Every structure is written in C-alpha cells, then in structure tokens.
Chain A
C-alpha cells in the first residue's frame, strides 16, 4: 500500500473516531460547492469593503489561540476528518511575531474586552516560547515534522529557520538571555549547515536537496544579524560577557543570509519564474512560490539589497497581473507561471498580499496596495463566521476546501499569514492616510 493511500485511509478513519465531524464536513463541502458554482469570480466583488478588517483579525487570532495545545505548541491544522493535529514546532515558531504584532495593535486595546485578548495573545507567546526552548537539540537545530509523530527526531534546516524568526522577535521583545542563546545556537547551526554556494542541501534539507523557498531561512538569519547588532550596540558598555557575545561580534549571519539570497537570485528566469522549488511528488504550490518571494524580499530589505528587491518586484508584478486579469491566483503553477491549477491556495494568497504590501511600502506604487486590498477582501469572505472550533475563523488550505493543497484542512499558517497581511494593511493604510492629510 502506498504511503499516500495509507494516509488517506488514516484520515478517513478519523471520521469513525469522531462522528461529530461528519455534519461540519458535509456543510463545508456543500458550502464550497455552491459557492464555486454560483459565486462571481469577479474582482468588482472584492473592490468593496464588506467585512471590517478588525473583525476578521479577531477571528484569525482566536483560531490560532484555540489551536494551541496543552504542551504550548500550535497545532499544524484542524482536519475536517481527524480534528486537530499534534503541535507543530515550525508554525509555533513563526506565529510568535504575529501574536506580538497583534498584542501591540491599537485596536487590541480599544474596548474593555480587549485587554483580555491582548493578555491571551501574550500568554500564548510565553507558552510557545517555553515549549520551543524545550525542543532545541544540543546542536542548536530544531526538529522537523509534527511533534511526537516519529520516534526518530531529525533536525530540519527549514524548520529551524522558521522557528528562528520567532526566537529573534521574542529576543527583541523580552531581552531574555535564554531566548537569545537559543537564537544564536540556531543561527550558528544554520551557518554551519550551509553549502558553499549559499544553498542548504544534504542532511537537514527536505528530500536532501536544495530548495529556493529556503529563502525564508535567509530572512531569519538576516533578522538575527540585525538583532545581534542592535544588542551589541545596546550592551556596548556592559562588562558581562558570558561567552556568547563573541558570536555577535561579526556579521556571519548576515553574510550567510546574503549568500543564500544570491543563490536564489541566480535561479530567477527572465519571465520572473524562480526555479528550484524541488519538491518531488508535489506541484509548485503558490505557498512555496510566495515563500521564495517573501524570504528574499524580507532579507533584501533588512540587508539593503535594492537589486534583490527589484528582482522580487518583477516576479511579484507577474503575479499581480495574473490576479488582476484572471480575478484569482491559481493554487499551483507550472514553469514560467504557466498551466495554473483551478483551485486557490489561500495561504499563498495571503503571503502574496504580504509581499505586495511590503513592495508598496518600499516602492510607493499604489497598485501593489490596491491588489493587496482586494486580495484581503477576497480572503475575508472565505473565513467561516460560524461552525465548530477549528473551522470558525480558520483559513482552509485550499478553496474549494477539497483543492490539492492541504485538502479538507484549516491550517494554522494560513491564519498566521492572513493575520500578518491584515495587520500590514492596517499599518500601511494608516500611514498613507496620515501622509495624505492636509
């Protein structure tokens, strides 16, 4: 029996163990079938705000907080067949900046009920950090996969990078020495595992090969480099040296980040397509394409690399034109953005919104903001406003929910990226309004 068939059978058996999930499953399938049949796939529908951003934000954060398991980790997904998954270290790490951002939002304090939500988000971050610190391997690496899903724990470059993004933010916010040490150890391991060409392949890389979407790791390393430099400046007169400060006195994290960035840029075609996703057995999902763009863009912004920003802007513009012209972004593409599949990867959509918003911030081209506003509006319409825990306020892997990317699942990273997109939208629209004020 193939692994895929076994997985499908295990998932289906989940309904036998949890028959209460049958009705919500039928409801979601029917809902999406009706919607894809009759809904106008028409951007005019999404050029009008019908759902307040703050309401959608509340739903997403509530979903994430509900997904936190007893151990402190965030579940990877809620399956319509099997319910919540085990805790997922990778997402638990990179959801930390999202929860920090949310807890610092203005509207998080706007009425008497809000401090509770703010405190919930802060408490969730604290529990997530503690759990992550307990998982770190002596080498500094973090394990891949779902927690407890395998007896043999394998270190993962990508997951370590994603978790590092959370640790760096937690270090900045809390100035805790244990968090700082964990971040430095993770960064040190990533630098050690990097190949001379700037990629990560071999042990620790998924399927043993190099992937361009590991640019997210370069973002993490660039963030670590900046945080290390800031920490060095803040503690310049500090006599204490516990031996770790030596790791902060050079730019090795930043240089490693740029090496990876350069390797990814060498994979860019004139069409804007970026080779090297290299996921055997899977199509090039929008989620991974967006990862490449997000990782390089954020790394480039942190490192002041205008050449990389321009290259990513070219690729992001191709996607923007497709979204504006076809009224949706396919969930997966063939080479050169051809042969788009007829489902939508919602996480990838939210990530593209983040990319366009950041490009608006960098270039001031309002067309990026315009596309992101419409994308966010479309995503707001697809967040369920009713249903049981795990569905209510969640972001499904695909739309329709049976699409090829994470079928029949509401995924935590979908909520994370959409919440990021909405918070970015709010920050940038406010600053634009302020700049336009007489």
Chain B
C-alpha cells in the first residue's frame, strides 16, 4: 500500500505520530506533503489553535533545545510512546522522514498545481490527511482509493468543528470516525466509526481531545491495514440531507461542555467504572 501523508506543518505532533504508527504497521509513507511553517496562514492557524503562550514556548524549545532543556515538551503526552525515538522525543517530521526514509515536500497550498503534480508523482493508493487546507477535487482524485480523514466525532451526527465539545453538549457519544474525504464537510463514505471508551476519565477538553487523537491514530492504522488486505469497504453516510455541520464553539458553550465532561467523570467515579 503506497500512502502519502498531508500535514499542516512539519512540527505537527499528530502528523508525526500518524507517520510513525503507519511505519510501525508496515505502511511507511512514500512521501509527505506539508504546509510551510513560516506561511502566514499556518502561523495564524497555529496561533488560533495553540494561543500565543504555547506557540512561544514551542518556538523557544525548537530554537534553543540544549539551553532550555525543553526538547521533551509535548502538547499531547498521549503520543509520547509513538514519538519517542531512541529515548528522545521526536516531533519534527524531517527527523521521522530520515528515520523511515521518505521524502518531504513543503508547499504553501496543498491544492496548488505543483502540490498536486508532486502527489501524482508519488502515485499513492491512499492519502492520509492530518491537517492543512480544505481539499479540492483535483487533489481528491489523485489517490487510487481516496483521501482518509480522522474525524474526532461520530458521523453522521456531528460534522465540522469542535466535534468532541459538540458531542458532549448534544449528549451524543464521543468517538472517532475514519472516512474518505469528499467535496462536502465530513460527508464522505465511512470506513470505521468507534465510540471512545475512556471519555469519562478525561478531566479537561484538551485531555479529551488529546486522548481522542491517540485513539484515532490507532483506528487509522487499522483501516489502512484492512484496506491493504482488501477486507474493508466504505459505507456512504446516512442523513446527508440533514445539516449536521457544527462550527467553532464559543468559549461560553465550551465552558458548559467542560461542566458536562466533569459531571460525566463524577458519575463514572461514583459508579465505580473509572479505571483510575
């Protein structure tokens, strides 16, 4: 199975962990196409996702690793087992590419003709999307099987942004869906849909999201292997006529989602179902 990984940045922990996990499964990518970290759009997106403090902290850790001793810093500690290479934390895709011997191409737009041409040159069976632009038809048509996405919510009920938070507020089980990307927002055929069993152990939204990412990476690896064996077929989504798209959640509602998370956690402890 020839796979290619699409990333939002070479410093994306999710992309690094996904790549390592695929390689460990015997499906190391034949290439990775990543947005330039110095692209203004990427920088703004990272600022929006991480905030100024974390971006600064990470930049300092990257620029002065020996002096500050911050090389061990990981935003998602649940990815540590995957990102630990020779007793060191590795969160740069270049290092991982060196380890598993695949090329990285930087771009400013994943849909640009040059990016699509590079993808065609790699001739992938499958592209795994871990972040970047909204993908256009010319890119979606490149791989033989399709472009995979790991969505942090159960489709078709929760499409779009802040899926774990919306799941909590809507009383829909938290979970992960691996699906093909089509021209809609999270409307493509579903390959695997898994409820997340440990949601009641999460103490914050960041904790829930981090655990879901680690959980989802394993699900993607399973799907890739199953597709390689030819033992998995995608199912078209139901409810396509219903508008189940959700958008960036305002912090007031996020606070209500946190309350719901903590309430679920307390209920779980009271019922003695927590694994501690």
Contacts and interface: CB of A to CB of B under 8 A. Distances in A.
Interface of A: 40, 42-44, 46-49, 317, 321, 324, 366-367, 369-371, 373-374, 377, 429, 432-433, 436, 438
Given A40-B44, A42-B48, A433-B256, A47 B250 contact: yes
A242 B205 CA distance: 64
B140 to A, nearest CB: 20
B252 A373 contact: yes
Given A42-B48, A436-B260, A369 B253 contact: yes
Nearest to B245: A321
B249 A370 contact: yes
Contact of B252 (A40, A43, A49, A321): A49
A38 B256 CA distance: 32
A436 B246 CA distance: 21
A125 to B, nearest CB: 31
Contacts of A317: 243
Most buried by B among A42, A47, A374: A47
A357 to B, nearest CB: 13
A44 B250 contact: no
A40 B260 CA distance: 32
A48 B51 CA distance: 12
A46 B48 CA distance: 11
Contacts of A44: 48, 248
B259 A47 contact: no
B263 interface: yes
A361 to B, nearest CB: 15
Contact of B248 (A47, A321, A369, A432): A47
B259 A374 contact: no
Given A47-B248, A367-B247, A373-B252, 11 more contacts: A40-B44, A42-B44, A47-B249, A317-B243, A366-B253, A370-B249, A377-B250, A432-B256, A433-B256, A436-B260, A438-B263
Given A42-B48, A436-B256, A436-B259, A367 B251 contact: no
Interface in B22-74: 44, 48
B31 to A, nearest CB: 31
A433 B169 CA distance: 12
B170 interface: yes
A366 B259 contact: no
B105 to A, nearest CB: 28
Given A317-B243, A436-B259, A438-B263, A48 B249 contact: no
Contacts of B248: 43-44, 47, 324, 374
Contacts of B246: 367
B200 to A, nearest CB: 16
Contacts of A371: 247
Contacts of B44: 40, 42
Contacts of A47: 248-251
B251 A49 contact: yes
A429 B252 contact: yes
Contact of B170 (A324, A366, A373, A374): A366
Contacts of A321: 245
A47 B162 CA distance: 12
Nearest to A425: B252
A43 B248 CA distance: 8
Nearest to A371: B247
A324 B250 contact: no
A67 B48 CA distance: 39
A48 B248 CA distance: 11
18 contacts: A42-B44, A46-B250, A47-B248, A48-B251, A49-B252, A317-B243, A321-B245, A366-B169, A366-B253, A367-B246, A370-B249, A373-B252, A374-B248, A429-B252, A432-B256, A433-B256, A436-B260, A438-B263
A404 B251 CA distance: 33
A104 B178 CA distance: 51
B88 to A, nearest CB: 33
Contacts of B247: 43, 324, 367, 370-371
A73 B221 CA distance: 70
Contacts of B259: 436
B7 to A, nearest CB: 21
Contacts of A436: 256, 259-260
Contact of A373 (B166, B243, B253): B253
